[in-house]
Chains A and B, each alone.
Chain A
Amino acid sequence: MKHYVSMLALLSVLTLAATSTLAMAEENSAHLSGSMEVGASGVDLKDNPARVNEYVKYRSKDDGVNLAPSLNLEYENKGIMLDVESITRGRRDQNHSLDLDYNRIFRLNTDYQVFEHWTEHDNLQHVGATMAGDIAGDQPRVTTDLTAGQIGVPGDNLAVANERYYQELSHDYIITHREWENEADITIPSLPNVTFHAGYRIEEREGTEQARTLSKCNQCHVQANPEDIDEKTKDLTLGVTGKFGLITIDYEYLSRDFSEDGDAPSYNYLSSGASHNGVLDSEQLLYSGSEIYSQTPDTEKDSHTVKARLDASRDSSVTATYVNAEIESDKKGDSSYTLNKNSLKSDLESFFLKGATRIGGLRLSIRGGAYTIDGPKYTANYPELVGSTILDPALGYDTATGNVTYKSAEDRDVTEFGIDGVYRLTTGTTLRLGYEFEEIDRDEDALGDTKTNTFNIAANSRLNKQFSARISYQYQDIDEPLRGANTGILQSAAYQDPAYPGMAYDNTSNYLGDPGNTTGVFYWNSVYPNRMLETSMDPEDVHEIKFSSTWTPASNMAATFFARVRKEENNSVDYKQDSYVPGVSFYYAPNGKMNLTMAYTFSKMKTENQMCVGWYHG
């Protein structure tokens, strides 16, 4: 709100200043043009406004009328240029911008916008899809958060829990976005080859969103709550660009600060009174009792970017880019576990080179580089599990201390290389050939290393004065794409149940020898380590064809046809995805008084994949 008031005040001052300089501008033959408009916007909403008014126009949910002023102003005089655009259609439907140039010594650009967005509101009923006894989504245990007999909630019952559910359904989840972005450049006349840059951006998200969580026997105890959102992201950038003969050097420092001041929702995680093999189920649950959840940690980021470019000739250049960034997030444990540090830190370091030149009719560019991500390494301690059972040390759980050491899945060394050539076949026709290579070497061995070879070919032609066309084809060969975790057990014919074709079963006695099963067979010792099915939505082969053609039979008529076909496959996990996106656009101006535009796009995507669905009852 403070920014909103500040922006309005700034615009008011600028409007008055521009108006007061009108007479002066006329005296000096200055240029002043624009328009001012005063109006009213009104909204009348029927039924559910959440989707029809998802990106809010004028008002989010209450019918009514808003004052709607707007201003468009251009002023130029003696090297001073001012451009102001301001549109207000509602209290939270505004766009304002200002550009100022003072003799190319000082340049300022500032933008401010406000808008609202209805976010999704899941009614959770579909969670009962695999529940025994669920009839058309009416499974009564789903979504209710019954806390009878739980810590600190005496006398709770199903009717009260259902009432909480209906209260949650009645919430309006709306987020207000505000963004104020400023960029300023200063070039000192005595140092004309050096320009200093500064920028400041504030982005705010405020309102409520739906948060969801679950506790034991997940589909029976899924819960949703309204979560207060009060996020603020502040960016400060400082930089300098210098041109020294054939060399241009650019440096930028970015400091980003993210904070969330909204109250996180809480959930009374349900416990269990049952026991198996002498071990209480409640002692195996990570959470029990009231805990906050869906909390976004505060984060800070600092980055340094240096670019150097050598323009050896009109057609030949070499560019080098170095980036060093550090991100730190506040993180701590809760009543169920502790961390050995209060913040998690990631580092990024990258270096890339690019060269471009022209050899006769061939434009050639070569690029390559590498970057490293060094993610957080930390140890979590789960004291409640110690003594309850003995977990497999190979899974990373130290049974003596209760410590689990984590390694970030983002830890990696990445190498990239690419070459592109564009050759002019005839006047108006070019052929492009390209090749890219990427290798991702992940520190976490279980996630594998990925190598990607990408081949591109494209032709672009203006066939005659009426027709132009472009067609391109891309093929990607991806070796060992990032796989999903193993998701299903007993995935072979050896476990087929002869009584029920398509079903599989096994006896728990066959798992007594698994590590940790000292007093009985425990789910966590024998289900998780014995998963066999590997699933993924990452392809090994990708084919993509794009086509676009424009027909311009006359100056008052034009038609464009475009199409994109993409096929992804990963035969090793039976994944397949096909996409088809054809479309057409048409422009026609039958006379000087009328013009018509028409556009149609069709999009179809079909995905085939394997999955494992859990059935729960009890």
Chain B
Amino acid sequence: MALNANYQATEKLLLNAGFTYNHAKDNWDWNFGDRPQLVWAGSAKSAYDNTNGYNNLIDSYSDLTYEQYQTTVGATYQFTEALYASASFTYDVFNSDEEYVYGDEDGKAFYGYTGIGYRF
């Protein structure tokens, strides 16, 4: 989901803001009973019975979920028709709710930019 807005606050001041949200979820289920298995050399081993929970780890390790939030605000101020200044600030958040496969990927980032420009 994304929201963006631009607002000419005064004749010289232009404001902008944006917000983006992304949620992703993946899960994996299987029906163990549908798949007969081979134990090479002899008979089936009780250690591989589905009740001991080993097979369910495949489900657990496949549960992957993350969320992203990105918020940006910015402004441009026109000193004269040619001379202006601009600035922007972005705050990004990544939350990884499951650590299987890639470990703890939680992170935050602050990005800032400021500049002065001349139009000709």
A interface with B by C-beta (< 8 Å): 22, 32-53, 57-58, 68, 70, 89, 120-123, 125-126, 128-132, 134, 136-137, 169, 488-491, 495-497, 499-508, 523, 527, 592-601, 610-613, 615, 617
Task: Assess whether B79 is interfacial by the CB under 8 Å rule.
Answer: no
Q: Which of B33, B94, B104, B114 has the most CB of A within 10 A?
A: B94
Chain B residues within an 8 Å CB radius of A120: 102
Is B113 touching A37 in the complex (CB atoms < 8 A)?
no
Is B38 touching A34 in the complex (CB atoms < 8 A)?
no
CB distance from B107 to the nearest CB of A (A): 4
The 10 closest A-B pairs by CB, nearest first: A39-B115, A37-B117, A504-B36, A52-B107, A52-B94, A126-B61, A503-B44, A593-B8, A46-B108, A44-B110
Residue of A nearest to B49 (CB): A500
Residue in A35, A134, A617 whose beta carbon sits within 8 Å of that of B119 in the complex: A35
Residue interface mask B97-117, A partner, CB < 8 A = 1 = 000111111111111111111
Chain A residues within an 8 Å CB radius of B41: 507-508
Is B106 touching A47 in the complex (CB atoms < 8 A)?
yes
Whole-angstrom CA separation of A293 from B61 in the bound complex: 27
User: Are A126 and B101 also in contact (CB < 8 A) when A46-B109, A68-B113, A612-B35 are?
Assistant: yes
Whole-angstrom CA separation of A611 from B117 in the bound complex: 60
Chain A residues within an 8 Å CB radius of B38: 488-490, 495, 504-506
User: Are A129 and B58 also in contact (CB < 8 A) when A594-B8, A598-B3 are?
Assistant: yes
Whole-angstrom CA separation of A43 from B108 in the bound complex: 11
Residue in A32, A53, A495, A523 whose beta carbon sits within 8 Å of that of B107 in the complex: A53
Is A50 touching B113 in the complex (CB atoms < 8 A)?
no
Chain B residues within an 8 Å CB radius of A615: 37, 39, 48
Number of interface residues of B (CB under 8 A): 63
Residue interface mask B43-64, A partner, CB < 8 A = 1 = 1101111100011011011000
Whole-angstrom CA separation of A596 from B2 in the bound complex: 11
**A to B CB contacts below 8 Å, 14 in the list:** A43-B112, A45-B107, A48-B104, A51-B105, A52-B93, A57-B109, A58-B111, A130-B57, A502-B32, A502-B50, A505-B42, A593-B8, A598-B3, A599-B2
CB distance from A588 to the nearest CB of B (A): 10
Is B118 touching A36 in the complex (CB atoms < 8 A)?
yes
Count of A-B contacts judged by CB separation below 8 Å? 202
Is A497 touching B43 in the complex (CB atoms < 8 A)?
yes
Chain B residues within an 8 Å CB radius of A46: 107-110
Residue of B nearest to A43 (CB): B111
Task: Assess whether B66 is interfacial by the CB under 8 Å rule.
Answer: yes
Residue of A nearest to B41 (CB): A508
Residue in B44, B60, B118 whose beta carbon sits within 8 Å of that of A499 in the complex: B44
Whole-angstrom CA separation of A64 from B117 in the bound complex: 22
Residue in A501, A598, A613 whose beta carbon sits within 8 Å of that of B33 in the complex: A501
Whole-angstrom CA separation of A495 from B38 in the bound complex: 9
Whole-angstrom CA separation of A496 from B101 in the bound complex: 34
Residue of A nearest to B87 (CB): A39
Is A595 touching B5 in the complex (CB atoms < 8 A)?
yes
Residue in B66, B68, B96, B116 whose beta carbon sits within 8 Å of that of A38 in the complex: B116
User: Are A48 and B107 also in contact (CB < 8 A) when A68-B113, A491-B36 are?
Assistant: yes
Whole-angstrom CA separation of A38 from B112 in the bound complex: 14
CB distance from B42 to the nearest CB of A (A): 7
Chain A residues within an 8 Å CB radius of B100: 125-126, 137
User: Are A507 and B42 also in contact (CB < 8 A) when A41-B112, A44-B109 are?
Assistant: yes
CB distance from A617 to the nearest CB of B (A): 8
Is A132 touching B110 in the complex (CB atoms < 8 A)?
no
Whole-angstrom CA separation of A504 from B33 in the bound complex: 11
B interface with A by C-beta (< 8 Å): 1-9, 30, 32-44, 46-50, 54-55, 57-58, 60-61, 66, 68, 86, 90, 92-94, 96, 100-120
CB distance from A8 to the nearest CB of B (A): 18
Chain A residues within an 8 Å CB radius of B2: 597-600
Residue of A nearest to B23 (CB): A602
CB distance from B67 to the nearest CB of A (A): 11
User: Are A132 and B47 also in contact (CB < 8 A) when A44-B110, A600-B1 are?
Assistant: yes
Whole-angstrom CA separation of A508 from B92 in the bound complex: 58
Residue of B nearest to A600 (CB): B1
Is A49 touching B107 in the complex (CB atoms < 8 A)?
yes
Chain B residues within an 8 Å CB radius of A495: 36, 38
Chain B residues within an 8 Å CB radius of A36: 117-118, 120
Is A89 touching B37 in the complex (CB atoms < 8 A)?
no
CB distance from A93 to the nearest CB of B (A): 11
Chain B residues within an 8 Å CB radius of A125: 100-101
Chain A residues within an 8 Å CB radius of B43: 497, 499, 505
Residue of B nearest to A71 (CB): B117
CB distance from B64 to the nearest CB of A (A): 10
Residue in B32, B57, B58, B107 whose beta carbon sits within 8 Å of that of A51 in the complex: B107
Is B109 touching A45 in the complex (CB atoms < 8 A)?
yes
Whole-angstrom CA separation of A89 from B50 in the bound complex: 55
Chain B residues within an 8 Å CB radius of A503: 36-37, 39, 44, 48
User: Are A595 and B36 also in contact (CB < 8 A) when A33-B120, A169-B103 are?
Assistant: no
Residue of A nearest to B99 (CB): A123
Whole-angstrom CA separation of A601 from B104 in the bound complex: 27
CB distance from B49 to the nearest CB of A (A): 6
Whole-angstrom CA separation of A45 from B103 in the bound complex: 18
Is B36 touching A496 in the complex (CB atoms < 8 A)?
yes
Chain A residues within an 8 Å CB radius of B111: 41-43, 57-58
Residue in A32, A43, A51, A501 whose beta carbon sits within 8 Å of that of B96 in the complex: A51
CB distance from A295 to the nearest CB of B (A): 25
Is A505 touching B114 in the complex (CB atoms < 8 A)?
no
Chain A residues within an 8 Å CB radius of B120: 22, 32-36
Is A595 touching B6 in the complex (CB atoms < 8 A)?
yes
Is B116 touching A490 in the complex (CB atoms < 8 A)?
no
Whole-angstrom CA separation of A416 from B66 in the bound complex: 42
Chain B residues within an 8 Å CB radius of A169: 103
CB distance from A224 to the nearest CB of B (A): 12
Q: Which of A122, A499, A500 has the most CB of B within 10 A?
A: A500
User: Are A597 and B42 also in contact (CB < 8 A) when A52-B108, A496-B36 are?
Assistant: no
Residue of A nearest to B110 (CB): A44
Chain B residues within an 8 Å CB radius of A496: 36
Chain A residues within an 8 Å CB radius of B68: 52
Whole-angstrom CA separation of A134 from B4 in the bound complex: 48
Chain B residues within an 8 Å CB radius of A44: 109-110
Is B103 touching A123 in the complex (CB atoms < 8 A)?
yes
